Homo-oligomer: A and B are copies of this chain.
Amino acid sequence: MHIAITGAAGFLGQRLVKQLVEWGELGGRAIRRLTLIDQVEPPAPNAEKIEIISQALDITTPGGLDGVLAERPDVIYHLAAVVSSAAEADLNLGMTVNFDATRALLEGCRQYGLAETRLVMASSVAAYGGELPDVLDDMTAVQPQTSYGTQKAMCELLINDYSRRGLIDGRVLRLPTIVIRPGRPNAAASSFASSILREPLNGEKAICPVPLDQELFVLSPTRVIEALVRGAEVPGEALGAFRALMLPGITVSVAQMLDTLRDVAGEATVARVRHEPDERIRSLVASWPVRFETPRADRLGFQRDASFREIVEAYLAERE
User: For residue A139, which residues in chain B have a CB less than 8 angstroms away from its CB?
Assistant: 131-133, 140-141
Among B91, B130, B140, B157, contact of A153 (Cβ-Cβ < 8 Å): B157
Expressed in whole angstroms, the minimum distance between the Cβ of A146 and any Cβ of chain B is 8
Residues in B neighbouring A154, C-beta threshold 8 A: 154, 157-158
Q: A150-B158, A157-B150 are in contact. Are A145 and B130 (CB under 8 A)?
A: no
Tell whether, in the assembled complex, residue B141 and residue A161 are in contact, meaning their CB atoms are under 8 Å apart: no
Alpha-carbon separation in the docked complex, A130 to B129 (Å): 21
Please report whether the interface of chain A is mostly helix, strand, loop or mixed according to DSSP. Answer: loop
Are B240 and A130 in contact (CB-based, < 8 A)?
yes
Whether the pair B140, A91 counts as a contact (CB closer than 8 A) is: no
A143 touches B91 (CB 8 A): no
| Chain B residues with CB below 8 A from A144, complex form | 157, 160-161
Residues of B within 8 A of A241 (CB): 129-131, 143, 145
Contacts of A132 in B (CB 8 A): 139
Q: What's the nearest-Cβ distance from chain B to residue A227, in Å?
A: 20
* Cα distance, A131 to B296, chains bound together (Å): 12
Residues 237-271 of A contacting B (Cβ, < 8 Å): 240-242
> Residue of B at shortest CB range from A92?
B107
| Interface 0/1 of A114-146, CB less than 8 Å to B | 000000000000000111110000111111110
**For window 286-320 of chain A, which residues contact chain B by CB distance below 8 Å?**
none
Taking the complex as formed, is A165 at the interface, i.e. its CB lies under 8 A from any CB of chain B? yes
The docked-state distance in angstroms from the alpha carbon of A173 to that of B138 is 24
A15 to B176 alpha-carbon distance, docked (Å): 47
What is A's interface to B at a CB cutoff of 8 Å?
A: 91, 129-133, 138-145, 147, 150, 153-154, 157-158, 160-161, 164-165, 240-242
